[in-house]
Amino acid sequence: MAVVGYALFVGAKITDGYRDAAHGDTPLFTDFTPTYAASIIVRELPAEFVYMQRTMVAAGKEAARRIYGDLTDKQAGVVGFAPWMYPPTFILLVLPLAYLPYLIAWAGWLGITAVPYLLSLRRIVPDRLGLPFALAAPPAFFNLMYGQTGFLTAGLIGSGLLLLRSRPLWAGALIGLASVKPHFGMLIPFALLAGGHWRAFAAASASVLALIALSVLTLGDDPWFAFIGTSLFHLEAFSVGAFALPAMVTPWAAARLAGMTVEQAWVLQSLVSTLMLAIVTAVWWRGRRHAESHGLQAAVLCIATPLALPLAFLYDLALVVPGAAWLWADMRHRGAGREEYWLLAGGLAALLGAKELAKAIPVQISPWILTLLLGLALYRFLSALPRDEAAAA
């Protein structure tokens, strides 16, 4: 029912966008619009132009017209400036999009990036419930609605963690590919090293270097200089209020919505990030000899990552879905109390209203929900260790 409801809602919104455009009103624009705009730039200009403000503004208006046809300057101007914050390795993924009509490109982007996401969830929950769970989770809805990258990040990291003990080289290669959104790999190297997964760590490093080399060979090195040169510009966005706080799910955003200053929010985020690093490192160090608890270790890593980042949005919580699936699989395997099931299901469901609640009160509940889910994962991990040790004895 949730999957059908999401599909109907997204379809209705797209239909309304075309109707509004035909009536001269402002149509619907999603986060896929600047992605499509970047592909237009790369098709016609050197890749470094995606990091230039005026070029992205012009490409955004061109993308708007490719979506809806003959728009007025006022209708197309609503797109505004969306900075390209991804490294040049991500440009390699968007190269083909400009050769396709907008809706086909949008559907293809979501469909292809969903493949690793759905495959990983199907393996974590190996029965008919895996795919419905993957698509019914609220982060999947947000990723579909925004046309974003959540499926890609969650699929690559989730698949890599699944293969970590059986095929470490493949696991490392998949995790390295997730570096197209590099900040989501912040905790992964510490987890791999603490867990003694040296081969996977080496493969991930080699995968990242290979991606960088491929981008330089394909696009040249100028995009990398442009990316590095605009990094401080993107950091300034935190200070000037350029991000939509109700859609952000980080402790930094929660602190700002609660009335803290920018400096206080950064202090809080730094403390939380340090705590998440310590938790993940300790869990993976303690679990290095407990193969049976690997799913719970992966769950801790997936759920802790958004809390450790200052910049993450609702669609990025697709990474939490594999973590929740590992939790659910462990609860079904080892048994769990009713309150644990309610916490898992209720926490995921509550994410659906986090943005609207943050607009109304404003309070950002997403970090608190993630904290509860992380606490559940830690509780189950610590309770599983004595059983693993007893079984080994």
CA distance 319 to 317: 5
Mutual angle of helices 2-22 and 138-146, in 10-degree steps: 20
Tokens of 156: 């690559």
The pLDDT, as a whole number, for residue 232 is 85
CA 225 to chain centre: 25
pLDDT by residue, tens only, the chain of 393 residues: 888 999 999 999 999 999 999 888 989 888 999 999 999 999 999 999 999 989 999 999 999 999 998 888 888 878 877 889 999 999 999 999 999 999 999 999 999 999 999 999 999 998 888 999 999 999 999 999 999 999 999 999 999 999 999 999 999 999 999 999 999 999 999 999 999 999 999 999 999 999 999 999 999 999 999 999 998 888 888 988 888 899 999 999 999 999 999 999 999 999 999 999 999 999 999 999 888 999 999 999 999 999 999 999 999 999 999 999 999 999 999 999 999 999 999 999 999 999 999 999 889 999 999 999 999 999 999 998 876 666 655
The pLDDT, as a whole number, for residue 393 is 56
Q: Are 156 and 164 in contact (CB under 8 A)?
A: no
Give the number of other CB atoms < 10 A from CB of residue 16. Answer: 13
- What SS3 string covers the chain? CHHHHHHHHHHHHHHHHHHHHHCCCCCCCCCHHHHHHHHHHHHHCCHHHHHCHHHHHHHHHHHHHHHHCCCCHHHHHCCCCCCCCCCHHHHHHHCCHHHCCHHHHHHHHHHHHHHHHHHHHHHHCCCCCHHHHHHHCHHHHHHHHHCCCHHHHHHHHHHHHHCCCCCHHHHHHHHHHHHHCHHHHCCHHHHHHHCCCHHHHHHHHHHHHHHHHHHHHHHCCHHHHHHHHCHHHHHHHHHHCCCCHHHECCHHHHHHHCCCCHHHHHHHHHHHHHHHHHHHHHHHHHHHHCHHHHHHHHHHHHHHHHHHCCCCEHHHHHHHHHHHHHHHHHHHHHCCCHHHHHHHHHHHHHHHHHHHHHHHCCCCCHHHHHHHHHHHHHHHHHHHHHHHHHHHC
CA distance 90 to 215: 9
Which amino acid belongs to residue 54? R
The pLDDT, as a whole number, for residue 93 is 92
Which amino acid belongs to residue 64? A
CA distance 83 to 34: 8
CA 253 to chain centre: 16
Q: For the chain, what's the residue count?
A: 393
Q: Are 169 and 200 in contact (CB under 8 A)?
A: yes
pTM of the model: 0.94
CA distance 385 to 9: 44
Q: Are 176 and 205 in contact (CB under 8 A)?
A: yes
Exposure b/e, 139-177, CB count within 10 A at least 16 = b: bbbbbbbbbbbbbbbbbbbbbbbbbbeebbebbbbbbbb
CA-nearest of 239, 240, 246 to 362 is 246
362 preceded by cis ω (within 30°)? yes
Which amino acid belongs to residue 26? T
Residues 6 or more apart in contact with residue 212 via CB below 8 angstroms: 89, 224
Tokens of 259: 């009335």
The pLDDT, as a whole number, for residue 390 is 60
Residue tagged 């007893």 (tokens): 390
The pLDDT, as a whole number, for residue 391 is 61
